[in-house]
Amino acid sequence: MSIWFSHHWHALVSALRKLTDAPITSLLNIVVIGVAFSLPTGAYILLENLQVFSGQVSGAPQLNLFLALDTDKNKIAELESRLTQHPQIASFQFIPKNVALQQLKKRDGLADIIDDLAQNPLPDAFIINVKDAAPESLESLHTEIQKWPEAGYVQFNSAWTRRLDALLKLGKLAALTLAFLLGFALVAITFNTVRLQILTRRDEIEISKLIGATNDFVRRPFLYFGTIQAAIGGITAWLITAFILHLISNELTSLAKLYTVDLRLHHLSSEDSAILLLSSACLGWFGAWLSVANCLWKTESRWFKDTKYTH
């Protein structure tokens, strides 16, 4: 265990020394990684805030359940109990038909018309707030309630939920594509940086291999180098997005107050921040692994050819 720890400790120290030996190059690589990763991170933060803001503006999605005209009080009580126990319904409000008629009567130009009616043509109704705003869930609940015997007509506007869901899915796909492309760029940056490190130490690596060093021993310092550099780049991306959000948030909050809207931009959660740092570190490790594997393969192939020609 002590030998394993010693090998990893020396590899870590060697990787940190490589970073500090060329501070300008290391800093530029870290800044490039940070800027690259800040783009998909910023897009993700924007989509998350847009989703929260759209929920605040639009409010909870509602279904309007208009009862059949012949529904009596007992059936209404049974329906209230059914709505209370339904797992998809958050809350509901019962509006008797006489109350609905009085509200309609208060509108301009309708009082005289309503007074001339022989009877109340409006049905009793329920305004239902649902828990899940997903279009599929709303459609399913709408279909289910419409089949109830007391239901005359069930109305809800699904257009805005479908448009918003489609826009958010498109935005998340674009952010994911951007993250994939820039993740590939991070791997390429790490690959090239480690390759340059290997070229400067090629003779040392070959001598180490000749005296019995294993591939893991040769590979370990470069893996630490790539992982640390990419992880610091991920932290830089987090700081860049935090700084930009701070600059935008004050102006955006002032603008939102003019429209009496409470709008605050939120940064990454602790879980999302951990995913960002872990993803950048893993991509850096992978780029370093590819670079060292390519070097070791070329070295062993050259030795094999030299041995073949010697014999």
The pLDDT score that the predictor gives to residue 111 is: 61
- Report how far Cα 74 is from the mean position of its chain's Cα atoms: 48
What's the structural domain count of the chain? 2
Q: Which of 155, 178, 206 is the last residue in one of the domains?
A: 155
Query: Does residue 309 sit within a domain?
Result: no
Query: Does residue 9 sit within a domain?
Result: yes
Contacts of 164 (CB under 8 A, 6+ apart): 54, 58
Query: Does residue 281 sit within a domain?
Result: yes
Distance separating alpha carbons of residues 118 and 138, to the nearest angstrom: 37
Same domain, 201 and 93: no
Mode of pairing for the β-strands spanning 89-95 and 151-155: unpaired
In terms of residue numbers, what domain contains 127? 62-155
DSSP 124: P
Same domain, 211 and 285: yes
Same domain, 40 and 138: no
Tally of CB atoms within 10 A around 97: 17
The pLDDT score that the predictor gives to residue 158 is: 59
The pLDDT score that the predictor gives to residue 262 is: 61
Residues of the chain with pLDDT under 50: 309, 311
Give the three-class secondary structure for 213. coil
Query: Does residue 308 sit within a domain?
Result: no
Mean pLDDT over the full length of the chain: 78
Distance separating alpha carbons of residues 108 and 146, to the nearest angstrom: 32
The pLDDT score that the predictor gives to residue 309 is: 46
Residue 264 φ/ψ, nearest 5 degrees? -130, 130
Same domain, 293 and 240: yes
Query: Does residue 307 sit within a domain?
Result: no
Same domain, 213 and 251: yes
Q: What is the pLDDT of residues 241-283, one digit of tens each?
A: 989 888 887 777 666 666 555 667 778 888 889 998 999 999 9
Tokens representing residue 91 in the block: 């809350």
